[in-house]
């Protein structure tokens, strides 16, 4: 029976300790936490500050965080370096492609100029041949026959034809033309030969 009384007394002492000390401390901490949170205080941050000031606790609490931070920083730096290298390679490729584009554009401009000049030569050649053939025909004609034909031509065509006629023949043709028409065409031939 003494044993039963001892077990009851120990049970009551443990219950007393639990009800009188543990429950009120937990209640007070919870109540303080709620009040401080409502007042806008970050309880966890404040607790970290005070824990870091306690000797022995500060190193154990912050060491894993520092290691994680260093590890993350190292990983991020490695990733950043890799991305920077990739950017440099892409910029070099871009520069090479831009140079190639510029060279191709220059070739295109040159080819367009060549095509244009070839077309101009092709267009001028038949006209020049026609003008030369007509000038040869006028040289073979009598000045009395050639003069009325030249007078009735357009002024530009008459100038082109007479420029290719020998000067003696040209003078004879001018002699058979009306003085006004001969003077106008001769003045244009002189102006065109000066240019």
pLDDT at 4: 56
- CA gap 54, 67 in Å, rounded: 20
Mean pLDDT of 11-24: 85
The token duo for 48 is 């970290």
Q: For residue 67, is pLDDT > 80?
A: no
- CA gap 35, 41 in Å, rounded: 9
- CA gap 65, 78 in Å, rounded: 20
- Residue of 187, 163, 172 whose CA lies nearest to 140: 172
Name residue, tokens 């000797």: 55
Q: What one-character DSSP code corresponds to residue 55?
A: T
Residue 194 binned pLDDT confidence (cut-offs 50, 70, 90): low
Mean pLDDT of 122-136: 73
Residue 128 — φ and ψ, nearest 5°? -60, -40
The pTM (predicted TM-score) of the whole model is: 0.36
Q: Chain-centre distance of CA 58, in angstroms?
A: 54
Mean pLDDT of 43-51: 80
- Decide: 146 and 176 in contact? Cβ < 8 Å: yes
- Residue of 171, 167, 161 whose CA lies nearest to 138: 161
Q: For residue 85, is pLDDT > 80?
A: yes
pLDDT at 125: 53
């Amino acid at each position: 029976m003494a044993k039963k009384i001892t077990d009851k007394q120990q049970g009551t002492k443990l219950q007393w300790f639990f009800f009188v000390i543990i429950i009120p401390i937990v209640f007070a901490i919870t109540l303080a936490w709620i009040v401080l949170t409502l007042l806008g205080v970050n309880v966890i941050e404040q607790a970290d500050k005070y824990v870091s000031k306690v000797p022995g606790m500060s190193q154990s609490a912050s060491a894993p965080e520092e290691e994680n931070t260093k590890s993350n920083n190292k990983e991020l730096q490695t990733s950043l370096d890799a991305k920077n290298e990739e950017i440099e390679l892409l910029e070099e490729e871009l520069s090479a492609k831009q140079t190639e584009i510029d060279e191709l554009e220059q070739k295109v401009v040159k080819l367009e100029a060549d095509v244009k000049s070839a077309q101009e030569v092709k267009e001028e050649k038949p006209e020049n041949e026609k003008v030369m053939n007509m000038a040869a025909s006028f040289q073979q004609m009598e000045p009395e026959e050639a003069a009325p034909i030249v007078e009735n031509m357009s002024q530009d065509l008459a100038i082109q034809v007479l420029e290719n006629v020998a000067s003696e023949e040209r003078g004879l043709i001018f002699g058979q033309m009306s003085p006004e028409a001969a003077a106008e065409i001769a003045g244009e031939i002189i102006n065109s030969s000066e240019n």
